[in-house]
Amino acid sequence: MKVVMPVAGKGTRLRPHTHLVPKPLLKVGDKPVLSYILDDLRELGVNEAVLITGHLKERVQEFMSTEYPDFDAVYTEQVEQRGTADAIALAEPFVREEMLIIFVDTLFDADLELVKRLPEDVAGVIWAMEVEDYQRFGVLVTDENGFMREIIEKPSTPVSKLANIGLYYIRDWKLLFDGIRHVMNAEPGPSGEYYLTDAFQYMVDKGAKLKVEPVHGWYDAGKPETLLETNQHVLSTTRGRTPSTVPDGVTIHEPVHVADGVTLEASEIGPNVTLAAGATVRGSKLRHTIVGEKSTIENADLHDSLIGTNVKVSGVRGQVDLGDHSVVTIEGSAEVR
């Protein structure tokens, strides 16, 4: 089995952080979003990957070769952003077997082992999450046996509350690529893009059975506020890490992740704070904040903030988003108490 992962997006909603770091490599719980997915694939026994690259493609390739050398990864570039069907179409030369398709701007709690238990007549699986604000999503309408009938984008009436989350297993890969070609030969959608969900509809219309399966959790990592929410989730479950010895004058409010090599002095940390290796926090108060490697925070009071690597912040109060190598200093600020 192969996995196909589109990672070409520019991550405009996460700027300035994505000017230098691809969106899938932004961290929650001191670990890149992409790593959570690759680690799950390892457990499933999948180690062949097709990555659809674009923005900062060299960073993605370097990450894969350095951190996941056991993956047999190939890369193809989506030069023009023409939608999800166009992205997956680029993987066709490399796919000759069943595959997973994973859009990596979210994390999920899903039973991927299900693919090993499917009846032979099932052509694939679409995972979905039940939501109340169904008007914001593409939702899946199913038959009485839980198979897809159609996907409706942002319905005005509650035809379904099963949101499409961007996680798929396709056994009948030939039919999927037939569907993608059919979609690409038609007029694009209102935004000028071609949608993978239309290829799924083609499969269903041709008689394919696509099982709709629920996920236990779905965590967005595509914009600052949801990245911080996802950070809190992983800290509360798998990635929480409190220092074994807390220095005098330092208060910790869990959940937090404090990496090795972090310096803490006269500060209040948490809840929902991640401090990467080599970070320094002095005389400061941090909550709902992610701080990158080798960044220094002094005499600051920060909340709901994203701080990149090698950043220096002094005397700042409030909320900030600072990309790598930024410096922000406010002179004459009173010490944080």
So where are the chain's domains? Answer: 2-220, 240-329
φ, ψ of residue 161 in degrees (nearest 5): -115, 15
Confidence of residue 39 (pLDDT cuts 50, 70, 90): very high
Cis peptide before 93 (omega within 30 of 0): no
Mean pLDDT of 59-71: 95
Give residue-wise pLDDT tens across range 140-169: 999 999 999 999 988 888 889 899 999 999
Direct distance between the N- and C-terminal alpha carbons of the chain, in angstroms, rounded to an integer: 55
Q: Is 313 helix (H, G, I), strand (E, B) or coil?
A: strand
Cis peptide before 247 (omega within 30 of 0): no
Report whether 285 contacts 336 (CB < 8 A).
Answer: yes
8-state DSSP, 236? I
Can you name the CATH fold of 240-329? Answer: UDP N-Acetylglucosamine Acyltransferase; domain 1 (2.160.10)
Report whether 17 contacts 306 (CB < 8 A).
Answer: yes
Architecture of domain 2-220: Alpha-Beta Complex (3.90)
Lowest mean pLDDT among 11-20, 93-102, 300-309: 11-20
pTM of the model: 0.89
Res 38: pLDDT: 95
Percent of the chain with pLDDT over 70: 98
